[in-house]
Structure 1
Amino acid sequence: MFDVGFQELILVAIVALVVIGPERLPRAARVAGKWVGHARRTLSNVKHEIDRELKAEELKKVLDEQARSYPLDTLLDDPAPPTTRRADPSPPSQTPRS
């Protein structure tokens, strides 16, 4: 991403040692590490939220396409008339007993 080589890292470490001093350098490194970790977590959360929103947007598009393909009115209209069913079936024919 930044294309930083080993020589550049050594140069930054030497400058930090001279500017900050050997007593405060470990604490400054810890603080810098915490900030970098916080920035990475925040960036990861933002990426996750964006992915989730994109998936929700994609789902909305699919649902809209299906709604256009199969309108609710046409699905609710029943083209075939309902079949008539007898409420009370006729009793079976009885044979005389001997």
Structure 2
Amino acid sequence: MFDIGFWEMLFCAVLGLVVLGPEKLPSAIRSAAKFIKSAKNIAAQMTDELSKELDTKAVEKQLIKVKQQATKDLMD
């Protein structure tokens, strides 16, 4: 997802340690992890809903085609 290497992660860890200090850093990491987890869950739910909606639209189109064909067959 993100192209973050070892040195970038090390830099962020050192920067976080300097800015937040050793007392607040663990709670900040936990808060960030919770936020990322909830964002991933929301994205997965949206993906599922969109795929279900697209499947519903495809079924409706097929149903219309079948109805049109049946009507055409009855007219003939």
What TM-score, normalized by structure 1, do the two folds share? Answer: 0.71
Q: Which runs of 4+ in 1 moved over 6 A?
A: none
Paired amino acid for 2:13:
A
> Whole-Å Cα distance in 1 between the matches of residues 52 and 62 of structure 2?
15
> Whole-Å Cα distance in 2 between the matches of residues 23 and 57 of structure 1?
53
Any gaps of 5 or more consecutive residues in structure 1? 76-98
> Whole-Å Cα distance in 2 between the matches of residues 28 and 42 of structure 1?
21
In the alignment of these two chains, the number of paired residues is: 75
> Whole-Å Cα distance in 2 between the matches of residues 5 and 62 of structure 1?
48
Any gaps of 5 or more consecutive residues in structure 2? none
> Whole-Å Cα distance in 2 between the matches of residues 32 and 45 of structure 1?
20
Q: How much has 1:67 moved relative to structure 2?
A: 1.0
Quote the residue 2:36 is aligned against: 36
Q: How much has 1:71 moved relative to structure 2?
A: 1.2
CA RMSD of aligned residues (A): 1.7
Cα deviation, 1:29-70, whole Å, max 9, x if unaligned, reads 110010000000000000000000000011001101111111
Q: Rg: which structure is higher?
A: 1
* Structure with higher RCO (Cα < 8 A, 6+ apart): 2
